[in-house]
Structure 1
Amino acid sequence: MSKWFPRLYDTMMEPLEKRGFREIRKKLVHNLPGNVLEIGSGTGLNFPYYKEAQKVIAIEPEPIMIERSLTRAKNAHVPIEVISAKSEQLPFPDNSFDAVVNTLVLCTIPDPVKALAEINRVCKSDGKVLFFEHVRLDDPILGRLQDWLTPVWKRLCDGCHLNRNTLELIKQAGFKVTRIQRYYKDIFLVIETLNQK
């Protein structure tokens, strides 16, 4: 990762957070019970909204983002432990978590198929696996524009793929989709699933 991106992440996200992302995050995580794994927790923007979890373990590979998340973890309503790890190689036993949360992260993971397989492994059967992600649009013009912009966008935003078909990847990984909520003209999706073993 470049050094500027994690340092400016909160500043860049603030307009989106004010225009609805905070409410989306809150609805996504506030009532998750038990042991929760958060994938790619970044600067901890979800941390204030966990209310019911017994414990949250948050993984993040970027040291600057981990450092910036620690205050939010300390001030959270539930115990949150932030560790350095990559989603393609989760350092947890099988069936360790009651739920897994992914917010705006699958776009940057180098091998999302492997990451989803790891999520399946560490989440209990029928555990909730929740996603808030941006996706490639079906629109022929806008979808092609995302394809065209992605190589430059990846360099600027530390590997973010504007054109990743995240919903299809989730379905192919075997998660049972129970609900999809679309935002901002279908660019962003909340995808609620159950883990299928």
Structure 2
Amino acid sequence: MALNRFPKVYDSLMKPMEKLKFGNIRRNLLEKAEGHVLEIGSGTGVNFSYYDQADQVMAIEADPMMREKSMEKAKKVNVPIEVIIADGERLPFADDQFDTVVATLVFCTIADPDRALQEVRRVCKRNGRVLFFEHVRVDRSLLGRIQDLATPVWKRLFDGCHLNRHTLQRVQQAGFNITKIEKHFMNIFYVAETRNHKGREFT
């Protein structure tokens, strides 16, 4: 699949999974997003209809075509949503700005996920809520090995998506206080509710 076609077909590709399971996962998670919310990697804006408890949402998206599609969805919801071009490793926001940060199925594509997690910690308020819905490399040897073997081709087909990242471990190592974890689909997907207990300053 050509890279520039991916934003055009993303919603169609994901529609079966959204109807089967992902939609409910997003709804249950994002009802906890309150106050001034930052979304990392809004994609086509699939989360926007679930921000019922938010006062306002600032969303970043690195792909201009994805941003364009997400802006169309932003016009159809009641919560004020702004979408800007930016990437997760260099968030253009002041320290301690957001009450909640949301990341759904995005850390698989970020080039430097550790740097992005530190940026999330920086811009999220002390004890602010950070909500993750991601997929990870599983511990089981056979399935994990299949993920390893498939990732090089998968990245080329699906906009840089890594099937075999240990994202949950990275979240823990970054210093977030995980308060709740749910696992889905043979532990490939997980939901993590965390708090940003800052212990040091970030530069």
Shared fold, TM over 0.5 = yes
Deviating beyond 4 angstroms after TM superposition, the runs of 4 or more aligned structure 1 residues are none
Corresponding residue for 1:49?
A: 50
Q: Does 1:78 align with 2:79?
A: yes
Q: Partner of 1:35 in structure 2?
A: 36
Aligned positions, number:
197
Structure 1 counterpart of 2:171: 170
8 Å CA contact 1:30, 1:49 repeated in 2:
yes
Alpha-carbon distance between aligned partners in 2 of 1:25 and 1:176, rounded to the nearest angstrom: 21
Shift of 1:77: 2.3
- Secondary structure of the structure 1 residue equivalent to 2:13: helix
Distance 1:31 1:76 in 2: 17
CA distance in 2, matches of 1:169, 1:145: 21
Name the SS for the 1:9 alignment partner.
helix
Among all aligned residue pairs of Structure 1 and Structure 2, give the percentage whose two residues are the same amino acid.
57
Q: Shift of the alpha carbon at 1:31?
A: 3.8
| Alignment partners' CA distance in 2, 1:169 and 1:132 | 14
RMSD between superposed Cα atoms in Å: 0.9
Q: What TM-score, normalized to structure 2?
A: 0.95
Deviation of 1:30 (Å): 2.1
**TM-fit CA distance, 1:104:** 0.2
Residue 4 (structure 1) aligned with residue 8 (structure 2): no
Question: 1:102 — aligned with what?
Answer: 103
Letter in 1 for 2:117: L
Instruction: Name the SS of the counterpart of 2:194 in structure 1.
Output: strand
* Contact 2:131–2:194 (CA under 8 A) maintained in structure 1: yes
Tell me which amino acid in the other structure corresponds to 1:102. Answer: A
Give 1:179's aligned amino acid. K
- Show CA shifts across 1:56-106 (max 9, x none): 000001011111111210111210001100010000000000010000000
Secondary structure of the corresponding residue to residue 159 of structure 1? coil
Q: Which residue of 1 aligns with 2:135?
A: 134
Alpha-carbon distance in structure 1 between the residues aligned to 2:32 and 2:136: 25
Q: Give the CA deviation at 1:6.
A: 1.0
1:153 and 1:196 map into 2 onto residues whose CA distance is 35
In 2, Cα distance between the equivalents of 1:32 and 1:129?
8
Q: Aligned equivalents of 2:180 and 2:68: distance in 1?
A: 34
